Amino acid sequence: MAHPISAFQAAYISIEVLIALVSVPGNILVIWAVKMNQALRDATFCFIVSLAVADVAVGALVIPLAIIINIGPQTEFYTCLMVACPVLILTESSILALLAIAVDRYLRVKIPVRYKSMVTPQRAAVAIACCWIVSLLVGLTPMFGWNNLNKMRKTQELNGSHTELVITCQFETVISMEYMVYFNFFVWVLPPLLLMLLIYLEVFNLIRKQLNKKVSSSSNDPQKYYGKELKIAKSLALVLFLFALSWLPLHVLNCITLFCPSCQTPHILTYIAIFLTHGNSAMNPIVYAFRIKKFRTAFLQIWNQYFCCKTNKNATSTTMAETGN
């Protein structure tokens, strides 16, 4: 029999639903903008679409699954593991998309003349496919055996129980903290974040050198070309900063859980960290709207073409019909 939802759980579910209601439409708008605007068709924006797809999936899939886990239903071990793994896949996909974006911006300022011949749409598509394949492998590693099943079976045997293993589905119950810290964080989260930090530092350094020297580039106006690159790089570096700010607290808490089992982490800190990770999916469209002019223009175009003007046209048609009668 299911336990009644507490007031705290109700508040948690409400906040998660609110995040999903912001994240899903916002990131669909990003994908829509790239699809309809030719100016947003280069490799960088293809990688941004990949990031937006992951963020849509967070709102549409991960948040509902997180709510299920919070309620804690009784399930079989691997059923619970399947519920817990999508967030690992999508987190890694976001990190690799951000890394691809950083590398792309670096190539744009390092080799502007040869950039278009090197970074073709086909190569960008292959890079995106590779990012998702690696994300699937990293995120599904617990399904391949690196999980808490053996530990739970040993506990069950010590208790003298030989019945089928049915558990209260919680993330930490099925996902190994060794996997989360040593493999997920120390291999697939922290190094890419540090690498991206170095790449953006080098991008800003290269752009400032070019602006100072006024060297020739593929553009007729080097100042305009590198000035535009600087603005976009700052915006995308902000996206990276927000991602790190949103995800590092939860990974730090995982490290505390692993390395200091006796340490009592307040539950409210864990919930705040979870809200930050999910809320990050809603942040990017806001950054694009305020910081990148091409996106802002595309968003306004979508609004005027499909919502604002359509409403006005419908209202005008209704008025004309009433007048005719």
Nearest to 72 by CA among 170, 5, 172, 2: 170
pLDDT the model gives residue 314: 54
pLDDT the model gives residue 101: 95
CB 20 within 8 A of CB 60: yes
Q: By three-state DSSP, how is residue 166 classified?
A: strand
pLDDT the model gives residue 213: 76
pLDDT the model gives residue 325: 42
pLDDT the model gives residue 316: 44
Dist. CA 62–CA 23, nearest whole Å: 12
Q: Can you say how many angstroms the Cα of residue 212 is from the centroid of all Cα atoms in its chain?
A: 35
Span 7-307: which CATH code? 1.20.1070.10
Token pair for 283: 């942040």
Dist. CA 104–CA 96, nearest whole Å: 12
Residue ranges of domains in the chain: 7-307
pLDDT along the chain (325 residues), means of 10: 73 95 96 89 90 96 94 91 96 95 94 91 94 97 95 81 80 95 97 96 92 60 83 94 96 96 90 95 93 90 81 48 43
Dist. CA 222–CA 109, nearest whole Å: 11
pLDDT the model gives residue 222: 74
Give CA separation, 312 vs 136, 273, 315, in Å.
Answer: 45, 43, 5
The dihedrals phi and psi of 147, each to the nearest 5 degrees, come to -150, -170
Q: By three-state DSSP, how is residue 175 classified?
A: strand
Contacts of 250 (CB under 8 A, 6+ apart): 270, 273, 274, 276, 277
Q: Judge residue 318's burial from the number of C-beta atoms within 10 Å of its C-beta, 0-12 exposed, 13-18 middle, 19 or more buried.
A: exposed
Give CA separation, 41 vs 36, 73, 170, 304, in Å.
Answer: 9, 44, 41, 21
Dist. CA 84–CA 12, nearest whole Å: 18
pLDDT the model gives residue 310: 58
Task: Please give the model's pTM, rounded to 2 decimal places.
Answer: 0.89
pLDDT the model gives residue 221: 67
CB 93 within 8 A of CB 247: no
The dihedrals phi and psi of 140, each to the nearest 5 degrees, come to -95, 5
